Protein backbone atom coordinates (compact mmCIF):
# COMPACT_ATOMS: atom_id res chain seq x y z
CA UNK A 1 0.00 0.00 0.00
CA UNK A 2 1.49 3.35 -1.08
CA UNK A 3 0.48 6.80 0.17
CA UNK A 4 0.20 9.54 -2.44
CA UNK A 5 1.47 12.72 -0.77
CA UNK A 6 -0.28 15.01 -3.24
CA UNK A 7 -3.64 13.43 -2.46
CA UNK A 8 -2.78 13.48 1.23
CA UNK A 9 -2.17 17.25 1.08
CA UNK A 10 -5.48 17.80 -0.72
CA UNK A 11 -7.24 15.71 1.95
CA UNK A 12 -5.80 17.98 4.67
CA UNK A 13 -6.93 21.10 2.81
CA UNK A 14 -10.47 19.70 2.57
CA UNK A 15 -10.53 19.20 6.35
CA UNK A 16 -8.98 22.59 7.12
CA UNK A 17 -11.32 24.43 4.74
CA UNK A 18 -14.40 22.53 5.90
CA UNK A 19 -15.48 21.32 2.48
CA UNK A 20 -14.54 20.34 -1.05
CA UNK A 21 -15.63 23.60 -2.70
CA UNK A 22 -13.67 25.80 -0.27
CA UNK A 23 -10.59 23.60 -0.67
CA UNK A 24 -10.93 23.75 -4.47
CA UNK A 25 -10.94 27.56 -4.33
CA UNK A 26 -7.87 27.63 -2.10
CA UNK A 27 -5.99 25.14 -4.30
CA UNK A 28 -7.14 26.65 -7.62
CA UNK A 29 -8.64 23.32 -8.62
CA UNK A 30 -12.11 22.27 -9.70
CA UNK A 31 -14.41 20.83 -7.06
CA UNK A 32 -14.80 17.50 -8.93
CA UNK A 33 -11.01 17.20 -9.16
CA UNK A 34 -10.60 17.71 -5.40
CA UNK A 35 -13.38 15.21 -4.68
CA UNK A 36 -11.80 12.72 -7.07
CA UNK A 37 -8.37 13.00 -5.44
CA UNK A 38 -9.83 12.34 -1.98
CA UNK A 39 -11.91 9.45 -3.32
CA UNK A 40 -8.80 7.88 -4.88
CA UNK A 41 -6.99 8.27 -1.56
CA UNK A 42 -9.87 6.49 0.19
CA UNK A 43 -9.78 3.70 -2.39
CA UNK A 44 -6.03 3.23 -2.01
CA UNK A 45 -6.39 2.96 1.78
CA UNK A 46 -9.63 0.96 1.61
CA UNK A 47 -11.18 3.30 4.17
CA UNK A 48 -13.76 6.11 4.25
CA UNK A 49 -11.91 9.21 5.40
CA UNK A 50 -14.59 11.91 5.10
CA UNK A 51 -18.16 11.92 6.41
CA UNK A 52 -20.13 13.64 3.63
CA UNK A 53 -23.57 13.27 5.21
CA UNK A 54 -23.82 16.72 6.85
CA UNK A 55 -23.80 20.29 5.60
CA UNK A 56 -20.15 20.56 6.71
CA UNK A 57 -17.86 17.62 6.06
CA UNK A 58 -16.16 15.93 9.00
CA UNK A 59 -13.34 13.38 9.19
CA UNK A 60 -14.28 9.83 10.10
CA UNK A 61 -12.34 8.05 12.84
CA UNK A 62 -9.97 6.76 10.16
CA UNK A 63 -9.74 10.26 8.71
CA UNK A 64 -8.79 11.78 12.06
CA UNK A 65 -5.98 9.25 12.48
CA UNK A 66 -4.70 9.90 8.97
CA UNK A 67 -4.88 13.69 9.40
CA UNK A 68 -2.84 13.55 12.61
CA UNK A 69 -0.09 11.53 10.94
CA UNK A 70 -0.27 13.60 7.76
CA UNK A 71 0.44 16.83 9.65
CA UNK A 72 3.47 15.17 11.20
CA UNK A 73 4.65 14.03 7.76
CA UNK A 74 4.47 17.54 6.30
CA UNK A 75 6.05 19.05 9.41
CA UNK A 76 8.94 16.60 9.00
CA UNK A 77 9.25 17.66 5.35
CA UNK A 78 9.49 21.29 6.47
CA UNK A 79 12.21 20.32 8.92
CA UNK A 80 14.12 18.56 6.14
CA UNK A 81 14.01 21.76 4.07
CA UNK A 82 15.13 23.76 7.11
CA UNK A 83 18.06 21.39 7.61
CA UNK A 84 19.16 21.88 3.99
CA UNK A 85 18.83 25.65 4.37
CA UNK A 86 21.07 25.48 7.43
CA UNK A 87 23.79 24.16 5.15
CA UNK A 88 23.07 26.85 2.57
CA UNK A 89 23.02 29.67 5.12
CA UNK A 90 21.04 32.84 4.31
CA UNK A 91 21.75 32.87 0.58
CA UNK A 92 18.29 31.42 -0.08
CA UNK A 93 15.10 30.39 1.68
CA UNK A 94 11.77 31.72 2.84
CA UNK A 95 10.36 32.92 6.14
CA UNK A 96 6.69 33.25 7.05
CA UNK A 97 5.93 34.98 10.34
CA UNK A 98 2.51 35.04 11.97
CA UNK A 99 1.23 37.76 14.26
CA UNK A 100 -1.87 38.44 16.30
CA UNK A 101 -4.00 41.25 14.89
CA UNK A 102 -2.42 44.21 16.69
CA UNK A 103 1.15 42.93 16.44
CA UNK A 104 0.73 41.69 12.87
CA UNK A 105 -0.72 45.01 11.72
CA UNK A 106 1.38 47.59 13.57
CA UNK A 107 4.65 45.89 14.61
CA UNK A 108 5.66 43.15 12.19
CA UNK A 109 5.50 44.91 8.77
CA UNK A 110 8.35 47.36 9.55
CA UNK A 111 10.37 44.61 11.24
CA UNK A 112 9.99 42.31 8.23
CA UNK A 113 10.98 45.23 5.98
CA UNK A 114 14.14 45.70 8.05
CA UNK A 115 14.89 41.98 7.85
CA UNK A 116 14.43 41.98 4.06
CA UNK A 117 16.81 44.93 3.69
CA UNK A 118 19.46 42.96 5.59
CA UNK A 119 18.69 39.65 3.80
CA UNK A 120 17.35 40.54 0.34
CA UNK A 121 17.57 36.97 -0.99
CA UNK A 122 15.12 35.60 1.58
CA UNK A 123 11.49 35.39 0.46
CA UNK A 124 9.01 36.46 3.10
CA UNK A 125 5.37 36.26 4.13
CA UNK A 126 3.14 37.51 6.95
CA UNK A 127 -0.03 35.88 8.31
CA UNK A 128 -2.29 37.82 10.66
CA UNK A 129 -5.08 36.40 12.81
CA UNK A 130 -6.45 36.46 16.32
CA UNK A 131 -4.78 34.63 19.20
CA UNK A 132 -6.56 31.30 18.64
CA UNK A 133 -5.76 31.29 14.92
CA UNK A 134 -2.08 32.11 15.38
CA UNK A 135 -1.62 29.42 18.02
CA UNK A 136 -3.30 26.87 15.72
CA UNK A 137 -1.00 27.85 12.82
CA UNK A 138 2.02 27.25 15.05
CA UNK A 139 0.78 23.90 16.36
CA UNK A 140 -0.19 22.69 12.88
CA UNK A 141 3.23 23.61 11.51
CA UNK A 142 1.76 26.14 9.06
CA UNK A 143 4.18 28.80 10.33
CA UNK A 144 7.45 28.44 12.19
CA UNK A 145 7.51 31.71 14.15
CA UNK A 146 4.80 33.93 15.60
CA UNK A 147 4.75 37.16 17.56
CA UNK A 148 1.74 37.50 19.86
CA UNK A 149 0.25 40.07 22.21
CA UNK A 150 -0.44 37.93 25.26
CA UNK A 151 1.06 34.61 26.23
CA UNK A 152 -0.12 31.37 24.54
CA UNK A 153 -0.63 28.47 26.92
CA UNK A 154 0.08 25.44 24.69
CA UNK A 155 2.83 23.29 26.28
CA UNK A 156 4.17 22.40 22.80
CA UNK A 157 5.37 26.00 22.33
CA UNK A 158 8.55 27.74 23.41
CA UNK A 159 7.63 31.31 24.41
CA UNK A 160 10.11 34.20 24.83
CA UNK A 161 8.98 37.57 26.23
CA UNK A 162 9.97 40.66 24.25
CA UNK A 163 8.41 43.76 25.82
CA UNK A 164 5.04 45.07 27.02
CA UNK A 165 2.05 46.59 25.27
CA UNK A 166 -0.10 49.15 27.11
CA UNK A 167 -3.88 49.12 26.65
CA UNK A 168 -5.83 52.40 26.59
CA UNK A 169 -9.50 53.37 26.46
CA UNK A 170 -10.35 55.42 23.37
CA UNK A 171 -13.30 57.57 22.33
CA UNK A 172 -14.10 60.31 19.86
CA UNK A 173 -12.17 63.58 20.34
CA UNK A 174 -15.43 65.30 21.35
CA UNK A 175 -16.31 62.63 23.93
CA UNK A 176 -17.29 64.39 27.19
CA UNK A 177 -14.82 62.28 29.21
CA UNK A 178 -11.83 62.89 26.91
CA UNK A 179 -8.97 64.93 28.28
CA UNK A 180 -9.47 64.30 32.01
CA UNK A 181 -8.92 61.60 34.60
CA UNK A 182 -11.98 59.34 34.88
CA UNK A 183 -13.13 56.85 37.52
CA UNK A 184 -14.55 53.55 36.20
CA UNK A 185 -17.96 54.37 37.69
CA UNK A 186 -18.26 57.28 35.25
CA UNK A 187 -18.22 54.77 32.35
CA UNK A 188 -21.31 52.84 33.44
CA UNK A 189 -23.50 54.29 30.67
CA UNK A 190 -20.97 53.70 27.89
CA UNK A 191 -21.20 51.01 25.19
CA UNK A 192 -17.93 49.05 25.08
CA UNK A 193 -16.82 47.70 21.71
CA UNK A 194 -15.12 44.30 22.07
CA UNK A 195 -12.88 42.25 19.79
CA UNK A 196 -14.16 38.97 18.35
CA UNK A 197 -14.17 35.69 20.27
CA UNK A 198 -10.76 34.02 20.06
CA UNK A 199 -8.90 37.33 20.38
CA UNK A 200 -6.47 37.76 23.28
CA UNK A 201 -7.48 41.43 23.37
CA UNK A 202 -11.10 40.44 24.00
CA UNK A 203 -10.09 38.44 27.08
CA UNK A 204 -8.18 41.45 28.35
CA UNK A 205 -11.15 43.75 27.63
CA UNK A 206 -13.54 41.50 29.54
CA UNK A 207 -11.11 41.14 32.44
CA UNK A 208 -10.72 44.90 32.69
CA UNK A 209 -14.49 45.52 32.64
CA UNK A 210 -14.83 43.06 35.53
CA UNK A 211 -12.01 44.79 37.41
CA UNK A 212 -13.81 48.11 36.92
CA UNK A 213 -17.11 46.55 38.15
CA UNK A 214 -18.57 47.08 34.66
CA UNK A 215 -19.18 43.43 33.72
CA UNK A 216 -22.83 44.27 33.08
CA UNK A 217 -22.09 47.19 30.75
CA UNK A 218 -23.55 47.31 27.23
CA UNK A 219 -21.18 45.74 24.69
CA UNK A 220 -20.95 45.11 20.95
CA UNK A 221 -18.62 42.77 19.04
CA UNK A 222 -16.26 43.93 16.28
CA UNK A 223 -13.57 42.13 14.24
CA UNK A 224 -10.02 43.46 14.41
CA UNK A 225 -8.42 46.66 15.70
CA UNK A 226 -9.10 48.72 12.57
CA UNK A 227 -12.82 47.97 12.81
CA UNK A 228 -12.77 48.99 16.47
CA UNK A 229 -11.18 52.33 15.59
CA UNK A 230 -13.64 53.05 12.80
CA UNK A 231 -16.56 52.13 15.05
CA UNK A 232 -15.32 54.43 17.83
CA UNK A 233 -14.85 57.22 15.29
CA UNK A 234 -18.46 56.67 14.16
CA UNK A 235 -19.66 57.16 17.77
CA UNK A 236 -20.75 53.54 18.21
CA UNK A 237 -19.01 53.35 21.58
CA UNK A 238 -15.65 53.33 23.34
CA UNK A 239 -13.04 50.59 23.31
CA UNK A 240 -9.93 49.26 25.01
CA UNK A 241 -7.15 48.87 22.48
CA UNK A 242 -3.36 48.85 22.19
CA UNK A 243 -1.78 52.27 22.47
CA UNK A 244 0.30 51.42 19.38
CA UNK A 245 -2.82 50.75 17.32
CA UNK A 246 -4.04 54.31 17.92
CA UNK A 247 -0.76 56.24 18.18
CA UNK A 248 -1.16 57.93 14.81
CA UNK A 249 -4.91 58.51 15.27
CA UNK A 250 -4.46 60.25 18.63
CA UNK A 251 -1.52 62.29 17.33
CA UNK A 252 -3.70 63.53 14.44
CA UNK A 253 -6.64 64.24 16.75
CA UNK A 254 -8.88 61.64 15.08
CA UNK A 255 -9.32 59.70 18.36
CA UNK A 256 -8.81 60.57 22.02
CA UNK A 257 -7.53 58.57 24.98
CA UNK A 258 -9.83 58.54 28.03
CA UNK A 259 -7.57 58.44 31.09
CA UNK A 260 -9.17 55.87 33.40
CA UNK A 261 -7.76 55.23 36.88
CA UNK A 262 -6.86 52.53 37.76
CA UNK A 263 -5.33 52.10 34.32
CA UNK A 264 -5.39 48.71 32.58
CA UNK A 265 -2.24 46.63 33.18
CA UNK A 266 0.25 46.14 30.36
CA UNK A 267 0.30 42.81 28.54
CA UNK A 268 3.37 40.95 27.26
CA UNK A 269 4.41 40.75 23.63
CA UNK A 270 6.12 37.40 23.01
CA UNK A 271 7.69 35.38 20.21
CA UNK A 272 6.81 31.68 20.04
CA UNK A 273 7.69 28.57 18.05
CA UNK A 274 7.07 24.84 18.36
CA UNK A 275 9.33 23.09 20.84
CA UNK A 276 9.98 20.19 18.46
CA UNK A 277 10.46 22.24 15.29
CA UNK A 278 13.88 22.88 13.77
CA UNK A 279 14.10 26.57 12.87
CA UNK A 280 15.55 27.50 9.50
CA UNK A 281 18.53 29.88 9.25
CA UNK A 282 16.16 32.66 8.18
CA UNK A 283 13.90 32.03 11.18
CA UNK A 284 16.87 31.99 13.55
CA UNK A 285 18.11 35.27 12.06
CA UNK A 286 14.68 36.83 12.50
CA UNK A 287 14.62 35.61 16.12
CA UNK A 288 18.02 37.20 16.70
CA UNK A 289 16.70 40.52 15.37
CA UNK A 290 13.68 40.33 17.68
CA UNK A 291 15.90 39.66 20.70
CA UNK A 292 17.72 42.94 20.04
CA UNK A 293 14.53 44.93 20.61
CA UNK A 294 14.22 46.46 24.07
CA UNK A 295 10.82 48.05 23.38
CA UNK A 296 8.16 48.45 20.69
CA UNK A 297 9.94 50.42 17.91
CA UNK A 298 8.56 53.89 17.24
Residue 53 within a domain? yes
Total of domains in the chain: 3
85, part of any domain: no
Cα separation of 162 and 292, whole Å? Answer: 9
Q: Which of 73, 108, 129 is the last residue of a domain?
A: 73
> Which residues, given as ranges, of the chain have pLDDT below 50?
none
Q: Are residues 258 and 200 in the same domain?
A: yes
Q: Is residue 119 part of a domain?
A: yes
Residue 121 is predicted with a pLDDT of: 81
Coil, strand or helix: which one is 182? strand
272 and 217, same structural domain?
Answer: no
Alpha-carbon gap, residue 159 to 147, rounded angstroms: 9
Distance, in Å, from the CA atom of 101 to the CA atom of 165, rounded to the nearest integer, reads 13
Residues 188, 244, single domain; the answer is yes
For residues 65 and 102, membership in a common domain is answered with no
Q: What is the predicted pLDDT for the residue at 91?
A: 58
Give a yes or no: residue 20 inside a domain: yes
We report the CATH number of the domain holding residue 51 as 1.10.10.10
Over residues 2-41, the pLDDT tens digits come to: 678 888 889 888 888 888 888 888 888 888 888 988 999 8
Give just the sign of the alpha carbon dihedral 292, 165, 224, 199.
Answer: positive
Show the domain range for 117: 90-164+268-291
Residues 159 and 281 grouped into a single domain: yes
User: Does 131 lie in the same domain as 272?
Assistant: yes
φ/ψ of 115, rounded to 5, equals -65, -40
Cα(107)–Cα(245) distance, rounded to whole angstroms?
Answer: 9
On whether both 136 and 180 belong to a single domain, the answer is: no
- The secondary structure of residue 254, as a DSSP letter, is S
Q: Phi, psi at residue 29, to the nearest 5°?
A: -125, 165
Residue-level pLDDT at 98:
94
Tell me, yes or no, whether 183 and 254 share the same domain: yes
Q: Which of 73, 101, 132 is the last residue of a domain?
A: 73
- Confidence (pLDDT) at 45: 87
Residue 219 has a pLDDT of 93
pLDDT in tens, 81-121: 776 665 556 656 778 899 998 899 989 999 999 998 988 88
- pLDDT the model gives residue 26: 86
- Residues 9, 25: one domain? yes
pTM of the model: 0.65
CATH classification of the domain holding 98: 3.40.190.10
153 contacts: CB under 8 Å, gap ≥ 6: none
On whether residue 45 sits in a domain, the answer given is yes
Q: If we measure between CA atoms, which residue out of 80, 84, 46, 89 comes closest to residue 66?
A: 46
Q: Give me Rg for the CA atoms of the chain.
A: 23
What was the pLDDT predicted at 198? 80
**Considering the domain boundaries, does residue 80 fall inside one?**
no
pLDDT at position 87, please? Answer: 52
Got the DSSP string for 8-62? HHHHHHHHHHTSHHHHHHHHT--HHHHHHHHHHHHHHHTS--EE-SSSS-EE-HH
What pLDDT does 239 receive?
Answer: 93
Distance CA 169, CA 182 (A): 11
Amino acid sequence: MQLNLHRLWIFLQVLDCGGFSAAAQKLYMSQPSVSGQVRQLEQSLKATLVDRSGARIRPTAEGEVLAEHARRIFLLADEAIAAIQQVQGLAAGRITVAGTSTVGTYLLPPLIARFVREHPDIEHGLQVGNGEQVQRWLLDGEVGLAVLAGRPNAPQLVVEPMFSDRIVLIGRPDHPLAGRVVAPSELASERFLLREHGSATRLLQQTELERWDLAGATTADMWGPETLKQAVSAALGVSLISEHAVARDTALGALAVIDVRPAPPARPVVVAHRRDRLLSPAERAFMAMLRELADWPE
